[in-house]
Amino acid sequence: MAITAADVNKLRQETGAGMMDCKKALTEADGDFEKAKEVLRKQGQKIADKRADNATAEGIVLAHVSQNGKTGKVIALACETEPVSKVADFQNLAMTVMSTAVATDATSKEALLATPQADGRSLQDHITDLMGKIGEKVSVASFETVSADKVVSYIHSNGKLGVLVGLINTSGTDVDEVGKDIAMQIAAMKPIALDKDGVDATTVEREIEIGKEQARQEGKPEAMLERIALGKLNKFYKDNTLLNQEFVKDTSLTISQLLEKTSKGLTVSAFKRVAIS
């Protein structure tokens, strides 16, 4: 059957796919709109399969904190190129991912991607559709949640880095400002854990071995290597665990001391740092 411009435009309005893609899909489906939509979906899946191993170093990070301030969620929607990260379809999809995260009780990326949308199809199906439309890989690179007495969020100016900070023992104190300061600290200083107890054993063992080797190369006696390495490990904890880091705005204070100064007993229970790079 003859495919009219009106048919192509109608399919484009319903799917958001390009005019030429819509025309090809309608031609392949002999004018059947539902079959044409399936053709477009298969096209998206082909692109997803073909570009599965491609790097996604661009995209957008969004954060949301619940109205009561006790739950925060952060998502990173990634793509291959910067121009795609700027287009309306990609930005709108990021908002859809965020709104789905807020509306659902999903606690994992897999559960989030499986969440049905208004048309009954999953969030992942809609992401695959966009891949068919733009011709490059798109993925939810990260989905994290934090719950606490008070959750504070921060999005860096480039839109590719986001942080959630959970504060406990707030005792009715206004902790928005200190929470924002700590979120910015996390963004800049990249702590790997809250304190030394949160550092995994493999990392600890690696740092001890590095410390021993450094001391050995400096000519230190073999009997002293363990003690020297443990000293270096304490420096590692100070530099890489949030509560032990020096506060970048006032290096006379550690983050732990800053919190205690703000309100007795105030501390960070959890944090998430999400970046596209």
Residue 146 has pLDDT above 70, yes or no: yes
In terms of residue numbers, what domain contains 211? 196-266
By the 8 A CB rule, do 185 and 177 touch?
no
Task: Flag whether 101 is in a domain.
Answer: yes
Of residues 77 and 23, more confidence is placed in 77
Query: Which CATH number goes with the domain that contains 221?
Result: 1.10.286.20
Do 62 and 37 fall within a single domain?
no
Section 152-172 average pLDDT = 96
End-to-end C-alpha distance for the chain, whole angstroms: 48
More confidently predicted of 14 and 147: 147
CA angle, residues 27, 127, 67, in degrees to nearest 5 = 140
pLDDT, one tens digit per residue, over 33-82 is 788 877 777 776 766 666 767 889 999 999 999 999 999 999 999 999 99
Same domain, 97 and 145: yes
DSSP reduced 3-state for 176: helix
245-262 pLDDT, tens digit each? 999 999 999 999 999 999
Residue 153 gets the label, from left (phi > 0), alpha (psi -120 to 50) or beta, of: beta
Number of domains in the chain: 3
User: Which pTM was predicted?
Assistant: 0.81
Instruction: Give the CATH number of the domain where residue 38 resides.
Output: 1.10.8.10
- pLDDT digits 0-9 by tens, 178-216: 999 999 999 999 999 999 999 999 999 999 999 999 999
